[in-house]
Protein backbone atom coordinates (compact mmCIF):
# COMPACT_ATOMS: atom_id res chain seq x y z
CA UNK A 1 0.00 0.00 0.00
CA UNK A 2 1.43 3.33 -1.09
CA UNK A 3 1.79 5.93 1.65
CA UNK A 4 1.46 9.63 1.03
CA UNK A 5 4.66 11.53 1.89
CA UNK A 6 4.29 13.84 4.84
CA UNK A 7 4.34 17.54 4.14
CA UNK A 8 7.08 19.52 5.91
CA UNK A 9 4.36 21.66 7.48
CA UNK A 10 2.97 18.67 9.37
CA UNK A 11 6.15 18.52 11.45
CA UNK A 12 6.15 22.07 12.80
CA UNK A 13 2.44 22.97 12.65
CA UNK A 14 1.41 21.08 15.84
CA UNK A 15 4.37 22.57 17.68
CA UNK A 16 3.42 26.03 16.47
CA UNK A 17 -0.15 25.59 17.71
CA UNK A 18 0.97 24.38 21.16
CA UNK A 19 3.82 26.89 21.52
CA UNK A 20 1.75 29.91 22.74
CA UNK A 21 0.09 27.87 25.48
CA UNK A 22 3.43 26.42 26.53
CA UNK A 23 5.12 29.83 26.63
CA UNK A 24 2.27 31.47 28.56
CA UNK A 25 2.18 28.60 31.07
CA UNK A 26 5.93 28.81 31.52
CA UNK A 27 5.75 32.57 32.05
CA UNK A 28 2.62 33.03 34.16
CA UNK A 29 2.85 29.86 36.27
CA UNK A 30 6.46 28.86 36.74
CA UNK A 31 7.77 32.36 36.17
CA UNK A 32 5.54 33.81 38.88
CA UNK A 33 6.41 30.93 41.21
CA UNK A 34 10.08 31.78 40.78
CA UNK A 35 9.34 35.49 41.30
CA UNK A 36 7.43 34.73 44.50
CA UNK A 37 10.33 32.59 45.71
CA UNK A 38 12.76 35.44 45.19
CA UNK A 39 10.45 37.92 46.95
CA UNK A 40 10.49 35.62 49.98
CA UNK A 41 14.26 36.09 50.33
CA UNK A 42 14.25 39.78 49.45
CA UNK A 43 13.85 42.93 51.55
CA UNK A 44 10.35 43.61 50.18
CA UNK A 45 7.94 45.33 52.51
CA UNK A 46 5.12 47.55 51.25
CA UNK A 47 6.53 47.43 47.70
CA UNK A 48 8.82 44.88 46.02
CA UNK A 49 12.46 45.41 46.92
CA UNK A 50 14.85 43.08 45.14
CA UNK A 51 17.71 43.51 47.59
CA UNK A 52 18.68 40.03 48.79
CA UNK A 53 18.02 39.56 52.51
CA UNK A 54 18.37 35.81 53.00
CA UNK A 55 15.95 33.64 54.94
CA UNK A 56 14.95 36.25 57.53
CA UNK A 57 11.34 36.17 56.32
CA UNK A 58 11.17 32.40 56.89
CA UNK A 59 12.59 32.79 60.40
CA UNK A 60 10.06 35.53 61.10
CA UNK A 61 7.36 33.29 59.69
CA UNK A 62 8.06 30.37 62.01
CA UNK A 63 8.47 32.69 64.98
CA UNK A 64 5.03 34.20 64.32
CA UNK A 65 2.40 32.93 66.73
CA UNK A 66 -0.30 33.77 64.22
CA UNK A 67 1.29 31.63 61.51
CA UNK A 68 1.69 28.69 63.89
CA UNK A 69 -1.97 29.10 64.83
CA UNK A 70 -2.95 29.13 61.16
CA UNK A 71 -0.88 25.99 60.53
CA UNK A 72 -2.61 24.22 63.42
CA UNK A 73 -6.00 25.37 62.12
CA UNK A 74 -5.11 23.90 58.73
CA UNK A 75 -4.31 20.54 60.36
CA UNK A 76 -7.61 20.54 62.24
CA UNK A 77 -9.65 21.71 59.27
CA UNK A 78 -7.82 19.41 56.85
CA UNK A 79 -8.37 16.34 59.03
CA UNK A 80 -12.07 17.07 59.53
CA UNK A 81 -12.56 18.09 55.90
CA UNK A 82 -10.88 14.98 54.49
CA UNK A 83 -12.44 12.56 56.95
CA UNK A 84 -15.93 14.07 56.77
CA UNK A 85 -16.03 14.48 52.98
CA UNK A 86 -14.70 11.02 52.26
CA UNK A 87 -16.79 9.28 54.92
CA UNK A 88 -20.03 10.96 53.89
CA UNK A 89 -19.21 10.69 50.18
CA UNK A 90 -18.50 6.95 50.46
CA UNK A 91 -21.74 6.40 52.40
CA UNK A 92 -23.79 8.27 49.79
CA UNK A 93 -22.07 6.36 46.98
CA UNK A 94 -22.90 3.00 48.61
CA UNK A 95 -26.54 4.05 49.09
CA UNK A 96 -26.90 5.17 45.46
CA UNK A 97 -25.19 1.98 44.29
CA UNK A 98 -28.24 0.01 45.46
CA UNK A 99 -30.08 0.98 42.24
CA UNK A 100 -32.69 2.93 44.17
CA UNK A 101 -35.50 4.89 42.57
CA UNK A 102 -34.91 8.51 41.60
CA UNK A 103 -31.15 7.88 41.67
CA UNK A 104 -30.57 10.52 39.01
CA UNK A 105 -32.46 13.14 41.01
CA UNK A 106 -30.65 12.33 44.24
CA UNK A 107 -27.28 12.31 42.50
CA UNK A 108 -28.01 15.76 41.08
CA UNK A 109 -29.07 17.07 44.50
CA UNK A 110 -25.91 15.74 46.15
CA UNK A 111 -23.70 17.15 43.40
CA UNK A 112 -25.37 20.58 43.32
CA UNK A 113 -23.29 22.14 46.17
CA UNK A 114 -20.14 21.47 44.15
CA UNK A 115 -21.51 23.75 41.43
CA UNK A 116 -21.40 26.64 43.89
CA UNK A 117 -18.29 28.64 44.62
CA UNK A 118 -16.81 28.61 48.12
CA UNK A 119 -17.77 32.29 48.36
CA UNK A 120 -21.46 31.43 47.97
CA UNK A 121 -21.12 28.49 50.36
CA UNK A 122 -19.40 30.64 52.96
CA UNK A 123 -21.99 33.41 52.71
CA UNK A 124 -24.90 30.96 52.98
CA UNK A 125 -23.46 29.12 55.98
CA UNK A 126 -22.51 32.42 57.63
CA UNK A 127 -26.20 33.33 57.59
CA UNK A 128 -27.32 29.87 58.79
CA UNK A 129 -24.81 29.80 61.65
CA UNK A 130 -25.48 33.37 62.77
CA UNK A 131 -27.01 33.07 66.28
CA UNK A 132 -29.29 36.06 65.69
CA UNK A 133 -30.93 34.94 62.45
CA UNK A 134 -29.86 31.40 61.56
CA UNK A 135 -30.34 27.94 63.05
CA UNK A 136 -30.29 29.08 66.70
CA UNK A 137 -32.89 31.78 66.14
CA UNK A 138 -35.13 29.46 64.11
CA UNK A 139 -35.12 26.68 66.71
CA UNK A 140 -35.83 29.17 69.50
CA UNK A 141 -38.81 30.49 67.54
CA UNK A 142 -40.12 26.93 67.46
CA UNK A 143 -40.34 27.02 71.25
CA UNK A 144 -36.93 25.70 72.33
CA UNK A 145 -35.87 28.90 74.07
CA UNK A 146 -32.71 27.49 75.68
CA UNK A 147 -31.27 26.05 72.45
CA UNK A 148 -27.84 27.42 71.59
CA UNK A 149 -25.70 26.96 68.49
CA UNK A 150 -23.22 29.81 68.52
CA UNK A 151 -20.13 27.99 67.30
CA UNK A 152 -19.32 30.63 64.71
CA UNK A 153 -18.68 33.25 67.42
CA UNK A 154 -16.89 30.82 69.75
CA UNK A 155 -13.08 30.90 69.19
CA UNK A 156 -12.78 27.27 70.31
CA UNK A 157 -15.46 25.97 67.91
CA UNK A 158 -15.42 28.33 64.94
CA UNK A 159 -13.00 26.10 62.99
CA UNK A 160 -15.61 23.34 63.09
CA UNK A 161 -18.06 25.64 61.31
CA UNK A 162 -15.58 26.04 58.47
CA UNK A 163 -15.20 22.26 58.31
CA UNK A 164 -18.99 21.73 58.24
CA UNK A 165 -19.40 24.15 55.32
CA UNK A 166 -16.51 22.57 53.42
CA UNK A 167 -17.84 19.03 53.94
CA UNK A 168 -21.31 20.09 52.82
CA UNK A 169 -19.94 21.39 49.53
CA UNK A 170 -17.42 18.64 48.75
CA UNK A 171 -19.18 15.44 49.88
CA UNK A 172 -21.17 15.23 46.64
CA UNK A 173 -18.02 15.43 44.54
CA UNK A 174 -16.42 12.64 46.57
CA UNK A 175 -19.64 10.63 46.20
CA UNK A 176 -19.40 10.90 42.40
CA UNK A 177 -15.81 9.62 42.43
CA UNK A 178 -16.62 6.65 44.65
CA UNK A 179 -19.81 5.85 42.75
CA UNK A 180 -17.89 5.76 39.48
CA UNK A 181 -15.38 3.42 41.12
CA UNK A 182 -18.12 1.12 42.42
CA UNK A 183 -19.85 0.99 39.03
CA UNK A 184 -16.54 0.04 37.43
CA UNK A 185 -16.15 -3.17 39.47
CA UNK A 186 -16.99 -6.38 37.61
CA UNK A 187 -20.45 -7.69 38.58
CA UNK A 188 -19.18 -11.29 38.44
CA UNK A 189 -17.20 -10.66 41.63
CA UNK A 190 -20.34 -9.57 43.45
CA UNK A 191 -22.38 -12.51 42.12
CA UNK A 192 -19.68 -14.97 43.18
CA UNK A 193 -19.68 -13.54 46.70
CA UNK A 194 -23.47 -13.73 46.85
CA UNK A 195 -23.37 -17.40 45.81
CA UNK A 196 -21.00 -18.03 48.71
CA UNK A 197 -23.63 -16.60 51.06
CA UNK A 198 -21.97 -13.25 51.81
CA UNK A 199 -24.29 -10.48 52.95
CA UNK A 200 -24.44 -7.11 51.19
CA UNK A 201 -22.66 -5.36 54.07
CA UNK A 202 -19.89 -7.97 54.07
CA UNK A 203 -19.47 -7.71 50.28
CA UNK A 204 -18.94 -3.97 50.53
CA UNK A 205 -16.67 -4.18 53.58
CA UNK A 206 -14.50 -7.08 52.41
CA UNK A 207 -14.52 -6.79 48.61
CA UNK A 208 -15.85 -3.58 47.07
CA UNK A 209 -14.44 -0.90 49.39
CA UNK A 210 -10.92 -2.41 49.39
CA UNK A 211 -11.11 -2.46 45.59
CA UNK A 212 -11.45 1.33 45.66
CA UNK A 213 -7.89 1.95 46.87
CA UNK A 214 -6.86 3.89 43.72
CA UNK A 215 -10.00 6.04 44.08
CA UNK A 216 -9.22 6.64 47.76
CA UNK A 217 -5.70 7.74 46.92
CA UNK A 218 -6.77 10.08 44.12
CA UNK A 219 -9.56 11.56 46.23
CA UNK A 220 -7.23 12.24 49.14
CA UNK A 221 -4.85 14.07 46.80
CA UNK A 222 -7.60 16.27 45.36
CA UNK A 223 -9.29 17.05 48.68
CA UNK A 224 -6.01 17.77 50.46
CA UNK A 225 -5.11 20.18 47.69
CA UNK A 226 -8.46 21.96 48.15
CA UNK A 227 -8.00 22.10 51.93
CA UNK A 228 -4.59 23.73 51.71
CA UNK A 229 -5.88 26.43 49.36
CA UNK A 230 -8.96 27.18 51.50
CA UNK A 231 -9.00 30.96 51.25
CA UNK A 232 -12.37 32.02 49.81
CA UNK A 233 -14.41 29.78 52.14
CA UNK A 234 -12.69 31.14 55.25
CA UNK A 235 -12.90 34.76 54.11
CA UNK A 236 -16.60 34.51 53.25
CA UNK A 237 -17.57 32.57 56.38
CA UNK A 238 -15.45 33.93 59.23
CA UNK A 239 -12.75 36.19 57.68
CA UNK A 240 -10.30 34.29 59.91
CA UNK A 241 -12.11 35.21 63.13
CA UNK A 242 -13.10 35.44 65.85
CA UNK A 243 -9.63 36.86 66.36
CA UNK A 244 -7.38 34.41 64.54
CA UNK A 245 -9.40 31.32 65.54
CA UNK A 246 -10.02 30.27 61.92
CA UNK A 247 -6.98 31.83 60.29
CA UNK A 248 -5.34 29.65 57.63
CA UNK A 249 -1.95 29.91 55.91
CA UNK A 250 -3.74 31.25 52.81
CA UNK A 251 -5.48 34.04 54.75
CA UNK A 252 -2.28 34.71 56.69
CA UNK A 253 -0.41 35.13 53.41
CA UNK A 254 -3.03 37.56 52.08
CA UNK A 255 -2.97 39.59 55.26
CA UNK A 256 0.84 39.84 55.37
CA UNK A 257 1.27 40.69 51.70
CA UNK A 258 -1.67 43.01 51.05
CA UNK A 259 -2.77 44.60 54.33
CA UNK A 260 0.28 44.65 56.62
CA UNK A 261 2.94 45.63 54.12
CA UNK A 262 5.18 42.57 54.60
CA UNK A 263 5.41 41.18 51.10
CA UNK A 264 8.45 39.02 51.88
CA UNK A 265 6.71 37.27 54.79
CA UNK A 266 3.59 36.74 52.69
CA UNK A 267 5.72 35.33 49.87
CA UNK A 268 7.47 33.03 52.34
CA UNK A 269 4.06 31.78 53.51
CA UNK A 270 3.03 31.15 49.90
CA UNK A 271 6.26 29.23 49.29
CA UNK A 272 5.62 27.06 52.34
CA UNK A 273 2.09 26.35 51.05
CA UNK A 274 3.54 25.45 47.64
CA UNK A 275 6.00 23.07 49.28
CA UNK A 276 3.14 21.45 51.20
CA UNK A 277 1.11 20.94 48.02
CA UNK A 278 4.19 19.57 46.25
CA UNK A 279 4.78 17.12 49.11
CA UNK A 280 1.29 15.75 48.42
CA UNK A 281 1.12 15.92 44.62
CA UNK A 282 4.64 14.78 43.68
CA UNK A 283 4.38 11.32 45.34
CA UNK A 284 1.00 10.88 43.64
CA UNK A 285 2.41 11.74 40.21
CA UNK A 286 5.42 9.49 40.84
CA UNK A 287 3.19 6.54 41.75
CA UNK A 288 1.01 7.10 38.68
CA UNK A 289 3.99 7.21 36.33
CA UNK A 290 5.52 4.18 38.01
CA UNK A 291 2.30 2.17 37.55
CA UNK A 292 2.14 3.07 33.87
CA UNK A 293 5.69 1.88 33.32
Mean pLDDT of 87-97: 92
Distance CA 283, CA 44 (A): 33
Question: Any idea which of 7-11, 150-154, 170-174, 289-293 has the lowest mean pLDDT?
Answer: 7-11
Q: Answer yes or no: is pLDDT of 1 > 50.
A: no
C-beta pairs of 32-40 under 8 Å, 24+ apart in sequence: 33/274, 36/267, 36/270, 36/271, 37/267, 37/271, 39/263, 39/264, 39/267, 40/264, 40/267, 40/268, 40/270, 40/271
Q: What is the pLDDT of residue 207?
A: 87
| Integer-rounded Cα radius of gyration of the chain | 25
What are the chain's domains? Answer: 65-292 (1.10.3720.10)
Closest CA to 233 of 78, 106, 72: 78
Mean pLDDT of 260-282: 87
Q: Are 127 and 134 in contact (CB under 8 A)?
A: yes
Q: Answer yes or no: is pLDDT of 285 > 80.
A: no
| Most confident by average pLDDT, 157-171, 197-211, 258-272 | 157-171
pLDDT digits (tens, 9 = 90+) for 14-72: 777 778 888 888 888 888 889 999 999 998 888 888 889 889 999 998 899 999 999 99
Q: What is the pLDDT of residue 107?
A: 86
Q: What is the pLDDT of residue 4?
A: 55
- Phi and psi torsions of 201, nearest 5°: -65, -40
Mean pLDDT of 237-249: 90
Mean per-residue pLDDT over the chain, rounded: 86
pLDDT digits (tens, 9 = 90+) for 139-172: 999 988 889 999 999 999 999 999 999 999 999 9
Amino acid sequence: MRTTPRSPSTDWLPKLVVAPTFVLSLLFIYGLIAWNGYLSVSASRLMPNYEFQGFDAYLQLWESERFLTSAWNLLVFGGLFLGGSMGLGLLLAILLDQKIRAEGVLRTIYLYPMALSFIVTGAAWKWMLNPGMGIENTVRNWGFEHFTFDWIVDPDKAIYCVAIAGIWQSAGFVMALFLAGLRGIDDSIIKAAQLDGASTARIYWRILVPSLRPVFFSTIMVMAHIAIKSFDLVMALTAGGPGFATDMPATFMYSMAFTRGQINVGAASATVMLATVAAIVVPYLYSELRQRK
